[in-house]
Structure 1
Amino acid sequence: MKVFTVVLAMLMYALTAQAGPSINVGVVYDYLDGDKSTYLKRIFNGGTSTAFVRVEILEILYDDHGAAQEVPLKSQAASTARDGLMASPARLIVPANGMQGTRLVYLGERKRERYFRVRYIPVVPEKEDAFAVSEEEREAYQSSLQAGVSVLAGYGTVFFVRPQDTRFDTRIENDGGKYVVRNNGNSVIEVDEFKNCVAGKPNDCHPTTKNHVLPGRAFSFDKEKGREYTFKLVEGETRKNQVVKG
């Protein structure tokens, strides 16, 4: 069994931390429904100076044992169709206390579900970057960061591209001392806000978790006497509250 657990990749770029850009990408997990091909992602900058953000995309591949590997997207010849996820634009200039959006566009076949890591990385613009700023503006920006103490932090999110003919087929096995949520569909489901608590004591719990269950995989837990398990089963736009007694 392999469950796609919560992953939050933070990339720290220590420069010189009281002033500077501070980006926020919102939710860590985004989903592209089977009948859509574009998704608008908003990037917020709550800092005191402009943020120059580079968007990078890797594909997440799983082997037969469920182990994940992040690989660069294959480059395509100009004469062939693109296959994968792209960001437009891939370079963002986000003003202080402002917001900019990038459109994530999927091009390619949709027979199976695919997964991507999308990284939003604040950078100090260099000559080779495509930020369309002059040399004077670039030097002034660098000087403003070096004048104080600043940390540029980037975030990695996970982007799910559902198949065109999305089909949910979740099976529950509740036998003996084990509870299993099995995904027999062709798109990811969520076991969200999973809580393992002492029965009758909703504040006496293990840490709450969010779990992604990929097609063909399962999420399970052992039921213990005197404990209660609650979670939300999420299939696309459908959410069902579940309560399991130990």
Structure 2
Amino acid sequence: MNRGFLLGVLSLFCLTAQAGPQINVGTVYDYLDADKSTYLKRVFNSGDATAFVKINVLEIVYDAEGKPQEIPVANAADGASRNGLMASPARLIVPAQGMQGTRLLYMGERDRERYFRVRFVPVVPEKEDEFTVTGEEREDYKKALKAGVNVMTGFGTVFFVRPKDARFATAINETDSRYELRNDGNTVLVVDEFKNCSLTKETDCGATTKHHVLAGNSFAFDKEKGREYRFFLIEGADRKALKVVSR
């Protein structure tokens, strides 16, 4: 996978069906600013049954060829040597038509940017899952789900932890035939709502896309005659609207 594209399509987990819990986690990309150490993530349940949600965290690391891998976060049992991201709590009981929150807490060095996959997985509670429910409540829940065909869908989000000295430095190189945006800073920047459209036919537009550009990487495109390219360049809290026209 191209490192500049970063983490591409997000994980989806389907267990099977139609009614029951229906969770939603809002945005699928979240960013921890340089001056923050915690982030509140809300989980919504629009379904007609309670959702029991397990939260798993994996770190996304890149090998020498720039290929991403997801590995478990290594933490000491006593928390003394914790180095990475953790969810607290890591188990949520979200009532039907309700909401619960978990805090994503980062502990460790902030000398470089780090990336994590946070998975929100609805489950049927078992004893070993450590949900605070009785055995009788677990069995009642299973029976209620078995009464119909149920779908429980989970989400995999991507969490960016910016370095302590986060610095944005975007260089633009443009020729008659090509446009390149290079990230010379030390933290991710975002090319959002990228769209290319015909100058003469208003309805002739490509799909709207979003791109994450890691430090040291570039986002580029070839300029076609008679097209214009619109997008937002997002550097932390700064959002700029840009337009490139090729006549």
> Same fold, TM exceeding 0.5?
yes
Which portions of structure 1, spanning 4 or more consecutive aligned residues, are displaced by more than 6 angstroms?
none
- Structure 1 position 77, deviation (Å): 5.3
**Cα distance in structure 2, aligned partners of 1:69 and 1:186:** 20
**Cα distance in structure 1, aligned partners of 2:11 and 2:203:** 29
Alignment coverage as a number of residue pairs = 244
- Structure 1 position 75, deviation (Å): 3.6
| Aligned equivalent of 1:195 | 195
| Aligned equivalent of 2:83 | 83
- Gaps of at least 5 residues in structure 1 are none
**Cα distance in structure 1, aligned partners of 2:91 and 2:77:** 23
Contact persistence 2:37–2:105 (CA under 8 A): yes
What amino acid maps onto 1:148 in structure 2?
G
Task: Determine helix, strand or coil for the equivalent of 1:231.
Answer: strand
**Cα distance in structure 2, aligned partners of 1:223 and 1:118:** 37
Q: Write the deviation string for residues 170-194 of structure 1: whole angstroms up to 9, x where unpaired.
A: 0000123110010000000001100
- Structure 1 position 196, deviation (Å): 1.2
Contact persistence 2:179–2:220 (CA under 8 A): yes
Q: What TM-score do you get using the length of structure 1 for normalisation?
A: 0.96
- Structure 1 position 89, deviation (Å): 0.1
Change (3 A) 1:212 1:202: farther
**Cα distance in structure 2, aligned partners of 1:81 and 1:75:** 6
Change (3 A) 1:202 1:65: farther
Alignment of 1:27-176 (within 5 A): 27-76=27-76, 78=78, 80-176=80-176
**Cα distance in structure 2, aligned partners of 1:115 and 1:141:** 36
- Gaps of at least 5 residues in structure 2 are none
What amino acid maps onto 1:47 in structure 2?
G
Task: Determine helix, strand or coil for the equivalent of 2:138.
Answer: helix
**Cα distance in structure 2, aligned partners of 1:87 and 1:128:** 18
- Structure 1 position 62, deviation (Å): 1.4
**Cα distance in structure 2, aligned partners of 1:176 and 1:85:** 44
Contact persistence 1:87–1:102 (CA under 8 A): yes
Contact persistence 2:52–2:125 (CA under 8 A): yes
1:10 is the counterpart of 2:12? yes
> What percentage of aligned pairs have identical amino acids?
61
Contact persistence 1:2–1:218 (CA under 8 A): no
Change (3 A) 1:38 1:91: same
- Structure 1 position 245, deviation (Å): 1.1
- Structure 1 position 79, deviation (Å): 7.5
Considering only aligned residues, what root-mean-square deviation do their CA atoms show, in Å? 1.3
Contact persistence 2:3–2:68 (CA under 8 A): no
What amino acid maps onto 2:9 in structure 1?
V
Task: Determine helix, strand or coil for the equivalent of 1:4.
Answer: coil
**Cα distance in structure 1, aligned partners of 2:245 and 2:147:** 58
**Cα distance in structure 2, aligned partners of 1:41 and 1:202:** 39
Q: Write the deviation string for residues 112-133 of structure 1: whole angstroms up to 9, x where unpaired.
A: 0000000000000001011010
